[in-house]
């Protein structure tokens, strides 16, 4: 069983940057896909980005391409989401998740979730 803990959220002005971290502990499989999702108030949870634990593949939703970068440090068992050029519409709770399907954007294909970290972008 893997456990996930997110950190790095906060309040930032539009155009600013934040880096989210997702620390994984427990039994981690090299075949995992690690995903970032977000959920804004009154909206459904949506896919943001994913990376295979091997680092071989990265996947992004079109809305964040060119602004967000997902990466992982296997030595630290940590996945990162570097968010640049943030916009007010990026405001949401961001969740880290682990799954088996490479690059999946479907939340029901992820079996383990962190508790989330709040990102607020002011205009």
> Mean pLDDT score of the chain, rounded to an integer?
95
CA distance between the termini of the chain: 40
Measured CA to CA, the distance from residue 12 to residue 48 in angstroms comes to: 19
Angle CA(26)–CA(31)–CA(35) in degrees, nearest 5?
75
Position 89 scores a pLDDT of 96
Q: In which band, very low, low, confident or very high, does the pLDDT at 38 lie, cut at 50, 70 and 90? A: very high
Q: In which band, very low, low, confident or very high, does the pLDDT at 54 lie, cut at 50, 70 and 90? A: confident
Position 27 scores a pLDDT of 85
Position 120 scores a pLDDT of 98
Q: In which band, very low, low, confident or very high, does the pLDDT at 16 lie, cut at 50, 70 and 90? A: very high
Average pLDDT over residues 94-116: 95
Tokens of 77: 């068992």
């Amino acid at each position: 069983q893997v456990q996930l803990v997110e950190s790095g959220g906060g309040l930032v002005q539009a155009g600013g940057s934040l880096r989210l971290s997702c620390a994984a502990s427990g039994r981690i499989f090299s075949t995992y896909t690690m995903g970032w999702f977000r959920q804004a108030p009154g909206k459904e949870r949506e896919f943001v980005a994913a990376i295979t634990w091997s680092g071989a593949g990265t996947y992004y939703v079109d809305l964040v391409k060119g602004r967000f970068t997902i990466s992982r440090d296997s030595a630290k068992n940590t996945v990162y989401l570097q968010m640049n050029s943030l916009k007010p519409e990026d405001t949401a709770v961001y969740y880290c998740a682990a799954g088996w399907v490479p690059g999946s954007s479907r939340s029901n294909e992820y079996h383990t979730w962190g508790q989330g970290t709040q990102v607020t972008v002011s205009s």
